[in-house]
A and B are shown apart, each in its own frame.
Chain A
Amino acid sequence: GIQVEQSPPDLILQEGANSTLRCNFSDSVNNLQWFHQNPWGQLINLFYIPSGTKQNGRLSATTVATERYSLLYISSSQTTDSGVYFCAVRRSGGSNYKLTFGKGTLLTVNP
């Protein structure tokens, strides 16, 4: 099946700093989503971005499908940004419609 690798596995920032999280995948995809898992375990949708660039406030994401990677940018980080960030993809074609998740990046933002 498709492989999804996220880096870095852990990231510690001071409030106000910027960061870039990376997601590499091993096959062509027609769905790529970024999630933030909050302290209660809820997966919050950040971006649906199988290709191109999107921005939402302090967060933005870029997916270069031809090179099989996606980047999540967090600017001016806040303590509330802390948590685990997951990248998940669905391989193009075939009949399996599942999302395959990476292992996540644990982000800690200190005041």
Chain B
Amino acid sequence: GAGVSQSPSNKVTEKGKDVELRCDPISGHTALYWYRQSLGQGLEFLIYFQGNSAPDKSGLPSDRFSAERTGGSVSTLTIQRTQQEDSAVYLCASSLAVGGHEQYFGPGTRLTVT
């Protein structure tokens, strides 16, 4: 596609439920990144993938968060047993490769945990 796409655009879930957020990067981009934006924390990094591998998971806020990428393309961010503090906009980005390459962002998924 022309840009990074994310789905759903909005998700409202009840506390304690699991959610899956999807990211489809720009075709040919080998690096994929997840960030989240919340009022209190600004824009913060969660995890990145080089191909299907995620070498650094230290940005994930808790063990309720996990992410995978298959086929070097689509990635899924899963949040188990959602909490109200998980409410945020989750942004996905991709770049040609890791390192000093320009990152392009998707429109985000707005997650609201009630």
Residues of chain A at the chain B interface (Cβ within 8 Å): 30-31, 33, 35, 40-43, 45, 48, 50, 86, 88, 90, 92, 95-101, 103-104
Contacts and interface: CB of A to CB of B under 8 A. Distances in A.
B105 A42 contact: yes
Q: What secondary structure prevails in chain B residues at the interface with A? A: strand
Interface of B: 31, 33, 35, 37, 42-45, 48, 50, 55-56, 59, 89, 91, 93, 98-105, 107-108, 110
A99 B45 contact: yes
A73 to B, nearest CB: 20
A98 B100 contact: no
| 7 closest A-B pairs by CB | A30-B100, A98-B45, A101-B43, A48-B102, A97-B98, A43-B105, A31-B100
Nearest to B48: A97
Given A95-B56, A98-B59, A42 B108 contact: yes
Nearest to A98: B45
A42 B107 contact: yes
